Amino acid sequence: MIQQLQETTAFIRNLYPHIPQAGIVLGSGLGNFAREMKVEKEIPYSDIPHFPVSTVEGHSGKLIFGELSGKKVVAMAGRFHFYEGYTPGQVTYPIRVMKFLGIQHLLVSNAAGGVNPGFRVGDLMLITDHISLAIVNPLLGKNHSELGPRFPDMSEPYSKDLQKKVKAIAASLQVTLREGVYFGVTGPTFETRAEYKMIHALGGDAVGMSTVQEVIIAIHMGLPVVAISIITDLGIREEDNVITHQEVLEAAAAAEPKLSAIFKQLVAEL
């Protein structure tokens, strides 16, 4: 793995020599965020050694380098998911690469199902913690001590300092920001009614098929993380409970400007 990371990093640095200060992971329907950036280089995943290729609608599949709020950043336009058939190591490989490229902070976004009955479609939820019991831990197997410890502490997976900044920014922008616990699942099926009720009973406020494995790897490498979910559908509702991926994409796109404004100002303050 170390050799692969070095080869990937060398390839990217040959095309883009600048050191990004922050890495940004764009979730389903959030690909337009790149419009906020002064783009300097785009590299398709298919061109990058050892990178998987995104297969999900709403994920364009490229690394975007450039400036945002005067800072060098790298954005993942499209992430990888365990349900696509990738191993947890492949899903999280880009996080390790971004750390090798020099990022000091990781900003993560995702589309999530609302479990908290007080949530509405289009809400933004600042992730304060997560529950990872239903995903496959990406640190299973041999530990590479050069990357991080065998037993990483997960008592603060989401930086309290970054959360404080995001809450202040949201207030200044007059954007309503929910807070809650993200419950990670493998997908690709949306949850049953009983599963939504169980997730709520266990303390989850939102549920999704990404993010958790990425955050575990970031913490393993000592990388501060902040994450925001766009609530794109509601799991606990009495009427028709059918959810489609198109519905998720449309709700994410509608809420994207609010999330983009927060991330843009956050990068300025890093």
CATH number of the domain residue 47 falls in? 3.40.50.1580
Average pLDDT, stretch 140-151? 96
The 10s digit of each residue's pLDDT in 60-96 is 689 999 999 999 999 998 889 999 999 999 999 999 9
Q: Which residue has the tokens 């945002």?
A: 68
3-state secondary structure 226-261: EEEEEEEEECCCCCCCCCCHHHHHHHHHHHHHHHHH
Structural domain count, the chain: 1
**Could you tell me the pTM of the whole model?**
0.93
Q: How many of the other CB atoms lie within 10 Å of CB of 21?
A: 17
Tell me 190's DSSP state: P
- Asked if residue 104 has pLDDT above 90, the reply is yes
Given this model, what pLDDT does residue 151 score? 98
Given this model, what pLDDT does residue 139 score? 98
Given this model, what pLDDT does residue 175 score? 95
Given this model, what pLDDT does residue 29 score? 64
- Asked if residue 223 has pLDDT above 80, the reply is yes
Given this model, what pLDDT does residue 54 score? 61
Looking at per-residue pLDDT, the higher value among 164 and 255 belongs to 164
Given this model, what pLDDT does residue 56 score? 59
d(CA 30, CA 111): 9
- Contact yes or no for 59/31 (Cβ under 8 A): yes
Domain region containing 122: 2-269
